[in-house]
Chain A
Amino acid sequence: MNSELAPRAKVALYGLICLLLIPFVFPTWWMVTSSLKPISDIFVFPPQLFPSHPDWSSYRQVFSIQPFAQQYWNSAWIAAVVTAGTLAIASMAGYAFARIRFPGADALFVVVLTGLLIPSEVTIVPLFRLFLMAGAINTHWPLVLIPMFGPPCVFATFVMRQFFVTLPRELEEAARVDGLGRFEIFRTIALPLARPALASVAIFTFLNSWNLYLEPIVFLSTPAKFTLPQALTQYTDAYGGPMWNIQLAAATLTALPVLIVFVLAQKQFVEGLAHSGLKG
């Protein structure tokens, strides 16, 4: 049976896909083009798809109004540290849950998973008190530790566990016969094979940390310590109204690494989720 579509059917299908893409692509398109327009042109009707005279001054003002470069660096290093730490913790915890039989393993896994059920809005107040007692308010410690030991890491552990469960036991038994201990099997056999799942965990952990908003606005008060999502809200005029063109320029700069990472690594992202048995 010939599964190739007829040319007309292909045109119709691709046309439909393009139509469906509009609500997904348009907001990003509007953000980028509006960052190059004066404020007066942003909300005109009908909307201008292309700026009549691209104006890059908004991008200069992004850096002059706030220490945006410092805030960019804050987001970047926090996301990097959180990602690295989560990968280390989730890969080891996921492997342990998948492969090590110890008393209460199943019950413990369920307890860990319940961490996903509790919204961060519920835990933010007790966490604030905790970090207040530790003298860590207005530092980056909460933004590193909460994702690394909270729901994002729980999800990452789940993804890794689901992947390791699919590894054939004979591989590890062969490694045992070859003389490897438990940690060596994890490091030299299981971990190299877990690249798709690790890439997937890295991507969504990075994205989650990059987009974190509640924790920064609760724990940080010094602009130089802000992260990007928090910094975006600070581009307001004397009356508290948003300076749209500048804010959208900052938003474009904020979204850029995310778009690049996802486009480059989407194959691993989908593979990793497929291996974990999850969908979307």
Chain B
Amino acid sequence: MAAVQLSQVKKHFGAVQVIHGVELNIQDGEFVALVGPSGCGKSTLLRMIAGLETVTQGRIAIGARDVTDLDPKERDIAMVFQNYALYPHMTVAANMGFSLEHRGRPRPEIAERVRWAADILGLAQLLERYPRQLSGGQRQRVAMGRAIVRDPQVFLFDEPLSNLDAKLRIVMRGEIKALHQRLRTTTVYVTHDQVEAMTMADRIVVLNAGRIEQVGSPLELFDRPANQFVAGFIGSPAMNFIRGRCTPEGFAAGGIVLRAPEAAAHAGREAVCGIRPEHFERCGEGSGAPARVEVVEPLGSQTQLLLRLGDTPVVALFHERMAALPGDAMHLRPKAGAVHLFDASSGLRLDDVQAA
């Protein structure tokens, strides 16, 4: 187990810069998720930690060692790939023991380590099978087994659940989290699925276009996103954004005024108001803004409504069954303390920006 430090790490592919001076400290034993949209550089960053991509500028350290220019085999890391990358011509046991065998470890030791990992991952009955004889979830477990057999300082996961169906993904999420809690090995986990990141990580690093937008615990990112990008990326369904102006009375947009005491401090400023769908509540005519239901999506114990609030389409999620119909009128207001204000031009959280 070891900490991982990235110091001003930059990466160019030819003339194109894809990683812009990333600074990140991962504590020993921590589970950190790198999330972001496709092309944001999260996999590139992970591959740079692994040594599969060179570092154009900056420094990467694992523990006390500067590994920036070291080959993957010298970094004491193990990686689980999106496509599992199991050796097709080797059995499960051979796959899992391959790196130890290559390093010249004694056969009894290899067999013991493979058995130990197989027991943890429920692979004991599958050791003599070949990858082509396994299901997707089994292959993913073998890939994880191949990683943990080596007892590395750092685990690297590159979107390991992307190729699994939704149900299996939920199961494997729990298994990976349980594995981390058991082994406490420093883990860097790349995913484009913010739900995976929220449920598994100790801390989340949100990346966008090669830059870190915010680093924090799942609830920190959820409760206090640093900018509009993070606010829109974290949380499902995604946060609603309403463009308007801060006033002493609240947030004014498209002929309506939303209850937002936070807006008074930035009165007169053009801003974007962010409200999560689950943070709307129905209210009386006097205390809320008028809204018209456009689409009703019953989800069983919840109801999702697509509404037009003023002239802005919004999504509202209610934890109850509602007898609403398209065309119905209602009044909505954000729950107390649930409004996020972002600067209209920079997208930064207004709390972090000097009041005008």
Which residue numbers of A lie inside 8 Å of B, CB to CB? 168, 170-171, 173-180, 184, 189, 192-193
Is A177 within 8 A of B102, CB to CB? Answer: no
Chain A CB within 10 Å, residue with most, of B78, B98, B103:
B98
Given A168-B83, A168-B85, A193-B88, the answer on whether A177 and B50 have CB atoms closer than 8 Å is yes
Is B88 within 8 A of A178, CB to CB? Answer: no
Q: Nearest Cβ distance between residue B132 and chain A, in whole angstroms?
A: 12
Does residue B72 face the partner (Cβ distance < 8 Å to A)? yes
Is B78 within 8 A of A177, CB to CB? Answer: yes
Q: Nearest Cβ distance between residue B190 and chain A, in whole angstroms?
A: 14
Given A176-B52, A178-B73, the answer on whether A171 and B102 have CB atoms closer than 8 Å is no
Chain A CB within 10 Å, residue with most, of B79, B84, B85, B88:
B85
Which residue numbers of B lie inside 8 Å of A, CB to CB? 50-52, 71-73, 77-79, 81-89, 98-99, 102-103, 146
Is A177 within 8 A of B73, CB to CB? Answer: yes
Is A180 within 8 A of B87, CB to CB? Answer: no
Q: What are 12 residue pairs bridging A and B, where the CB atoms are less than 8 Å apart in the complex?
A: A170-B82, A171-B85, A173-B52, A174-B79, A174-B87, A176-B72, A177-B78, A177-B79, A177-B99, A179-B72, A179-B73, A189-B87
Cα distance A20–B223 when bound, in Å? Answer: 76
Given A177-B50, A178-B99, A179-B103, the answer on whether A171 and B72 have CB atoms closer than 8 Å is no
Q: Which residues of B contact A174 (CB under 8 A)?
A: 79, 81, 85-87, 146
Cα distance A170–B139 when bound, in Å? Answer: 14
Given A168-B83, A170-B81, A170-B83, the answer on whether A176 and B71 have CB atoms closer than 8 Å is yes
Q: Which residues of B contact A178 (CB under 8 A)?
A: 73, 98-99, 102, 146
Q: Nearest Cβ distance between residue B257 and chain A, in whole angstroms?
A: 54
Q: Which residues of B contact A184 (CB under 8 A)?
A: 102
Q: Nearest Cβ distance between residue B158 and chain A, in whole angstroms?
A: 9
Q: Nearest Cβ distance between residue A183 and chain B, in whole angstroms?
A: 13
Is A179 within 8 A of B88, CB to CB? Answer: no
Cα distance A170–B51 when bound, in Å? Answer: 13
Q: Which residues of A contact B102 (CB under 8 A)?
A: 178-180, 184
Q: Which residues of A contact B79 (CB under 8 A)?
A: 173-174, 177
Is A170 within 8 A of B85, CB to CB? Answer: yes
Q: Which residues of B contact A189 (CB under 8 A)?
A: 87
Is A173 within 8 A of B98, CB to CB? Answer: no
Cα distance A174–B71 when bound, in Å? Answer: 13
Q: Which residues of A contact B85 (CB under 8 A)?
A: 168, 170-171, 173-174
Q: Nearest Cβ distance between residue A89 and chain B, in whole angstroms?
A: 23
Closest to B90 in A: A192
Is A173 within 8 A of B89, CB to CB? Answer: no
Q: Which residues of A contact B81 (CB under 8 A)?
A: 170, 173-174
Closest to A173 in B: B52
